[in-house]
Amino acid sequence: MARHSIVILPGDGIGVVVLEETLRVLDAAGFQADYVQGDIGWKFWCKEGNPLPLRTLDLIARHKVALFGAITSKPNDEAKAELDPSLQGKGYSYSSPIVGLRQFFDLDICVRPCKSYKGNPLNFVRRGKGNTIEEPLIDVVIFRQNTECLYSGVEWTNPPEKVYEALMTHPKFVENFGRTPVEELSVSTRIFTKKATERILTAAFEHARRKGYLSVTVCEKPNVIRETSGLMWRLAKEIQKESFPEIKLINSNIDAQMMWLTKNPEDYGVIVAGNMFGDIVSDGFAGLIGGLGFACSAQFSSDGTAVFEPTHGSAPKYAGYKIPIVNPIAMMESACLMLDYLNENNIAARIRKAIAGVIEEGKVRTYDMMKMNGRPEVLENGAASTFQMTDAIIERLE
């Protein structure tokens, strides 16, 4: 087996412990890798005025694959107040290193699988016929365009003259906003490019084919947002017709999709959406399979850079616990996505099987799985610690 080299980015708060525990599982499963640690997060902002130092970007550029815990982010004014005194007043401005990473490496494809584990007490249940209780098993993979749409940062309050003039060339703008004083206008632009839209769609279709999913659902709103959602839907039809005729293509509006989420979530396979709606629909599905303790993600660029991370943040209120209580499974699942990417399919399958076994047996559960409020006492009340959950998973490895 080839030895891999992986950049690890622990970050802040619980990111550190879930990553450490995940490395323990990878190691126990026989994954052969050299890990190089990259600096990212709040400490580096406070100490150096940059939460994503250049040396970290260099490391990722060199090694291509990164496992990322989570970071703490704060609004710019709070961030400035916490800067080291020697750096204050020198023009440093805070921006999120997550967005920074995405932009620097053009990590335009975000993949968020949401698959329920049998026996997870957090699984979604619904009422069936005759007052029965049904527990549909969900297996959905969301492909979220990660760099465009409303997240591109092209926005203004009190837009400059040229922007205002350009807006005034659109009859709908004149009609609806033409009498609003310019200083009372806030505008955030929703930009889609053909290239990035084709890339996310193609990635979604290829995944469906590779993994045997029967359908790809485009989750946008093309009847109303005609240019951007419309572009995605048009391209989806073309790509399906030309290259993936065996895969069913479904058009669902984001609003209706959120309503159907609890009606028939088991009917969906691959879902693809722009940045904003992809964020919404992936959080919606994640809620059905156990929430933040289970939601994993992968991000890819066209040049082969890949970053794997749980969806959750640094959960600062749990960071200082002597014995950590948070659920490490979302991070471990993210590592499994990394193993898929590295073609370490056997190791990934063994880790997933071990996680599934622990959940199904139901003896070892972190506080979130027991629906407890997170506090140190959960450990006395039967919840497993982060370490105990990891130990149980390692013990189950075949």
Among 7, 9, 40, 70, indicate the residue that binds ligand NAI (CB under 6 A): 70
DSSP percent split of the chain into helix, strand, coil, nearest 5: 45, 20, 35
Phi, psi for residue 340 in degrees, rounded to 5: -55, -45
Among 315, 338, 358, 389, indicate the residue that binds ligand NAI (CB under 6 A): 315
Residues 6+ apart with CB under 8 A from 214: 208, 247, 248, 269
Q: Which is nearer to ligand NAI, 38 or 313 (CB)?
A: 313
Residue 28: how many other CB atoms lie within 10 Å: 17
Q: Which stretch binds Mg ion (CB under 5 A): 90-98, 194-202, 283-291, 345-353?
A: 283-291
Min dist. Cβ of residue 291 to Mg ion (A) = 12
The HSE-up count of residue 200 (CA atoms within 13 Å, CB side) is 35
Are 143 and 204 contacting, i.e. CB atoms less than 8 angstroms apart?
yes
Q: Is 23 in the site for ligand NAI (CB under 6 A)?
A: no
State how far the Cα of 301 lies from the Cα of 203, in Å rounded to an integer: 11
Q: Which is nearer to Mg ion, 110 or 336 (CB)?
A: 110
Residue 368 interaction partner, one of Mg ion, ligand NAI, none, beta carbon < 5-8 Å per kind: ligand NAI
Among 222, 293, 324, 357, indicate the residue that binds ligand NAI (CB under 6 A): 293
Q: Is 71 in the site for ligand NAI (CB under 6 A)?
A: yes
Are 70 and 11 contacting, i.e. CB atoms less than 8 angstroms apart?
yes
Q: Is 46 in the site for ligand NAI (CB under 6 A)?
A: no
Min dist. Cβ of residue 136 to ligand NAI (A) = 23
Min dist. Cβ of residue 169 to ligand NAI (A) = 38
The first and second tokens of residue 152, run together, are 């591109």
State how far the Cα of 302 lies from the Cα of 146, in Å rounded to an integer: 12
Q: Residue with the closest Cβ to ligand NAI?
A: 313
Min dist. Cβ of residue 4 to ligand NAI (A) = 23
Q: Which is nearer to ligand NAI, 273 or 330 (CB)?
A: 330
Are 157 and 188 contacting, i.e. CB atoms less than 8 angstroms apart?
no
Q: Which whole-number Å values give the CA distances from 342 to 31, 66, 79, 186, in the listed order?
A: 11, 12, 37, 44
Q: Is 279 in the site for Mg ion (CB under 5 A)?
A: yes
Residue 338 interaction partner, one of ligand NAI, Mg ion, none, beta carbon < 5-8 Å per kind: none
Residues in contact with ligand NAI by the rule CB under 6 A: 18, 70-73, 98, 292-293, 309, 312-317, 326-327, 330, 368, 374
